Structure 1
Amino acid sequence: MPTALITGASRGIGLELAHALASRGYTVIPTARTLEKAKGVAANGDGFVPLELDVESDASVDTAAERTKAMGMKLDVLINNAGVFPMPWSQEVFDKAMNVNLRGPVRTMRAFAPLFTDGARVINVSSGYGRLTHSSPAYRQTITNCATVDEVLNNIKFDAKDETMKGTNHPAYKISKACLNRVTQIMADDPDFRSRNIKVFACCPGWVRTQMGGPNATRSIAEGAASVLALVEPKDEHVSGGFYRDGEPISFE
């Protein structure tokens, strides 16, 4: 029986994914910032192994990985779904967006990598807002020039004077998702991942009617989750390191 771990699984797309994968015969590890919230996912069904995991905390992520290993479990699928959608352009908001939307998935990938099965799939839930066209020329160049994950983590700084980002909606969210996309590209070329046929994808679920997306969004939660599910068992045309919506490739640019 394959196993899938989902971050941010207590509501919205993450909750939908948890139940969809359980119905497909997966053992699902739904994670949330508290064990109580993670257990709530499993309240109405079997096949769940709830786990506390706060993507903002190195210690929490490491502990979750250690507990998964202690249970003798391996991961066939990791879905980095947890995210935030902050508004203003400020240092505090930028740091929050980067810690959750970028560093969170990196923490999780690194901590759980030893537990991936050969042929495992990592799906980073990104956004069309992560396309580089939504970033300023300066950020676009800096992100594109990053050749390693650590460069993405360390080289992308808050620039209070960037007029393009100051004048756009959800600027910190856009930058954090653009960085996550770049990490996806870099991790797909990781020698260990390549030798074990581990595939890494970025996925846009679309604008979804969740607590984060709001009531005016154009897609249902089920439709957003379906975009992610299309990559759980990828087809030959799904290239590791690619960016997809509804199973179809979209541009990083």
Structure 2
Amino acid sequence: MDGRVALVTGANRGIGLEVCRQLADLGLRVILTARDPAQGEAAARQLQRDGSDVAFWPLDVTDPATVAAAQAFVEERYSRLDVLVNNAAIYPDGDRSVFDVPLETMEETLRVNFYGPLLLCRAFAPSMRRRRYGRIVNVSSNAGQLSTMGAGTPAYAISKAALNALTRIVAAEVGGHVKVNAVCPGWVRTEMGGPGAPRSVAEGADTIVWLAMLPDFGPSGGFFRDRQPIPW
């Protein structure tokens, strides 16, 4: 892949780890990031044993200092970032009513699910625009679709709706050479999705990786599931 470099947030397990695996299998140099250094290093070693070109870097997406450190690491070691996958997210509120969820829970969810991707986009999108190449994939959810939104999971749903809005705005600002899209991976058997989910992590990662590898004529500013556009 011509030495392309990808960074994936929240990648020590589940969909994020599988995205790292699939991107590495396609020949990219992958930076696996996670908030917990021990878990992140263990995940990276797991992929390295399989022959993947994967490096670990500690990253708390809610902390601007660690985002700046990740940006500096990428510039020093690779001199560029070609693919950014904003995967890190939390799902803290379940089916509680919007009237009952503590404000602190709403704030924490927005810090991870919305402000985190915003900080990462600010760190890396401008250089992608200057180089006239980049792929940004925001891992969203059908919970954030205004077209079908209802009661339940208010903190998570609002944060994902905000992430969808960020996707549209960043896509418009960076222009057509940088592809910025959101994706709903579906209900996946992860720690978040639970063992009863119908999709494997490989299935959940598929459209994310597809968007990360879009050709120059590919779409931007869209919302996708199973490689097909879906309503906002």
Give the Cα separation in 1 of the matches to 2:215 and 2:5. 19
- The count of residues paired between Structure 1 and Structure 2 equals 218
Corresponding letter in the other structure for 1:35: P
Give the Cα separation in 2 of the matches to 1:114 and 1:28. 20
Give the equivalent residue in structure 2 for 1:194.
175
Corresponding letter in the other structure for 1:99: R
CA contact (8 A) 2:147 2:231 kept: no
Structure 2 residue 186 is the aligned partner of structure 1 residue 184: no
Secondary structure of 1:211's counterpart equals coil
- Normalising by structure 1, report the TM-score: 0.81
Query: Match for 1:86 among 81, 84, 92?
Result: 92
CA deviation string 1:67-116 (max 9, x = no partner)? 21122431111000000011142201110110000000000110123443
Give the superposition deviation at 1:238: 4.1
CA contact (8 A) 1:22 1:28 kept: yes
Structure 2 residue 225 is the aligned partner of structure 1 residue 245: yes
CA contact (8 A) 1:228 1:246 kept: no
Structure 2 residue 213 is the aligned partner of structure 1 residue 230: no
CA contact (8 A) 2:4 2:29 kept: yes
CA contact (8 A) 2:179 2:218 kept: no
Give the Cα separation in 1 of the matches to 2:33 and 2:40. 5
Q: How does 1:69-218 map to 2 (within 5 A)?
A: 69-87=75-93, 88=96, 89-116=101-128, 117-135=131-149, 168-190=151-173, 193-194=174-175, 197-218=177-198
CA contact (8 A) 1:135 1:175 kept: no
Structure 2: unaligned runs, 5 residues or longer: none
Corresponding letter in the other structure for 2:160: K
CA contact (8 A) 1:83 1:101 kept: yes
CA contact (8 A) 1:73 1:115 kept: no
Same amino acid, percent of matched pairs: 43
Give the Cα separation in 2 of the matches to 1:238 and 1:132. 24
Give the Cα separation in 2 of the matches to 1:82 and 1:73. 24
Give the equivalent residue in structure 2 for 1:61.
67
CA contact (8 A) 1:6 1:29 kept: yes
Corresponding letter in the other structure for 2:38: E
Give the superposition deviation at 1:126: 0.2
Give the Cα separation in 1 of the matches to 2:180 and 2:125. 12
Give the superposition deviation at 1:215: 1.4
CA deviation string 1:128-169 (max 9, x = no partner)? 111013557xxxxxxxxxxxxxxxxxxxxxxxxxxxxxxx22
CA contact (8 A) 2:181 2:223 kept: yes
Give the equivalent residue in structure 1 for 2:29.
27
- Normalising by structure 2, report the TM-score: 0.88
Give the equivalent residue in structure 1 for 2:39.
37
Give the Cα separation in 1 of the matches to 2:126 and 2:59. 17
Give the Cα separation in 1 of the matches to 2:217 and 2:228. 9
Give the Cα separation in 1 of the matches to 2:118 and 2:14. 22
Give the Cα separation in 2 of the matches to 1:213 and 1:65. 30
Q: 1:205 to 1:217 in 2, by over 3 A?
A: same
Structure 1: unaligned runs, 5 residues or longer: 137-167
